[in-house]
Structure 1
Amino acid sequence: MTYKLPSEAEEWVAEYERKLNESDQYSHAGEGWGVGFNGDFLFEIQPDGSYDGEPVYMYLELQDGACLDAYVTEGPESEDYGFAFRGGYEQWKRLTAGEINPVEGMMDGTFDLDGDMQKVMQFSQAAIVMTETASEIDTEFEY
């Protein structure tokens, strides 16, 4: 099934949760993530030159190699997250197409990260597997 972004973000993030939880690679790479610290992520797709709509906020509750919950949320003020990953719509398209490495994207400023960069670097393989998993979702970007 094809999921449209941003109009079907709720369905897309539910599929993402399902795929993360089915991934043995993510289970292994994410082992220990969120244990003893808030590992929940807020993903923010921001308007840019190719998309002039409202920002899209997706919340993922991540702990110890599992995605416990995932949904679209109103914004950063409505969630207690440990990390936020923000970037323009066009950059998210490139990320989910596998054209951008998530860790390199944080390091070179393509994406903004709020949270402990050292923790993210410690679990960099989990970030890569998460991106690979997102690229497995049949996604139609509407803009």
Structure 2
Amino acid sequence: MAVDFPSDGWIDEWKAQLNDNDEYAEKASDWGVGWNGDFIFTIEVDDEAKEKFPELVGDNDKVQYFIGLEGGECTGAYQVDDLEDVDYGFEIIGPYENWKKLANGEIGAIDSLMSGQFELNGDMQRVMQYSDGAVEMVETATDIETNFVY
């Protein structure tokens, strides 16, 4: 059964699949150990999304999710209304269409950062150091049967 993206159900499914992925656990075993490896994923949305899905977007121009990552495990995944309420080490920002391409496997994690399709707030050098884990994290997302909400 397909899960809507973005939604709490999708983020919950991603967390479950990450925690059930031995390859991710191995490749990301050092990620976030002794430092904050948690992410905020900021999905920029347009007026069409605001009209079609007001319960998801409200008056905002973005939807944000916290993804807790440490030692090859996803420690938490949920929607965030106010970034002041969470402690995170990285934020990745991009338009809905690019998140859709990423979740479909049409663009890669590292390539999309390097090409400017996404903006990273945080230590790019650290992301590159652990790029195998980042790639496996995104590849895990492509395994989710996804219904894109627009």
Give the TM-score range, shorter chain.
Answer: over 0.9
Question: In the alignment, is residue 87 of structure 1 matched against residue 85 of structure 2?
Answer: no
Question: In the alignment, is residue 106 of structure 1 matched against residue 113 of structure 2?
Answer: yes
Q: Percent identity?
A: 43
Displacement after TM superposition at 1:50 (Å):
6.2
- Structure 1: where are the runs of 5+ without partners? none
TM score, norm. by length of structure 1: 0.93
Divergent runs of 4+, >2 A: 48-54, 75-78
* CA–CA separation in structure 2 for the residues paired with 1:75 and 1:93: 23
- Partner letter of residue 38 of structure 1? N
Which structure: greater helix fraction? 2
Q: Which residue of 1 aligns with 2:3?
A: 3
TM score, norm. by length of structure 2: 0.88
Displacement after TM superposition at 1:47 (Å):
1.2
Question: In the alignment, is residue 22 of structure 1 matched against residue 54 of structure 2?
Answer: no
Stretch of structure 1 that moved more, 59-68 or 76-85: 76-85
Question: In the alignment, is residue 133 of structure 1 matched against residue 131 of structure 2?
Answer: no
CA-based RMSD of the aligned residues comes to 1.4
Give 1 or 2 for the bigger CA radius of gyration. 2
Question: In the alignment, is residue 118 of structure 1 matched against residue 125 of structure 2?
Answer: yes
SS of 1:33's equivalent? coil
Residue-pair matches, total: 141
- Structure 2: where are the runs of 5+ without partners? 51-56
Q: Which residue of 2 aligns with 1:66?
A: 73
* CA–CA separation in structure 1 for the residues paired with 2:110 and 2:49: 24
- Could you report, residue by residue, the CA deviation over 1:19-73 in whole angstroms, capped at 9, with x for unpaired residues? 0000011001101110111000111111148645541111111101001111111
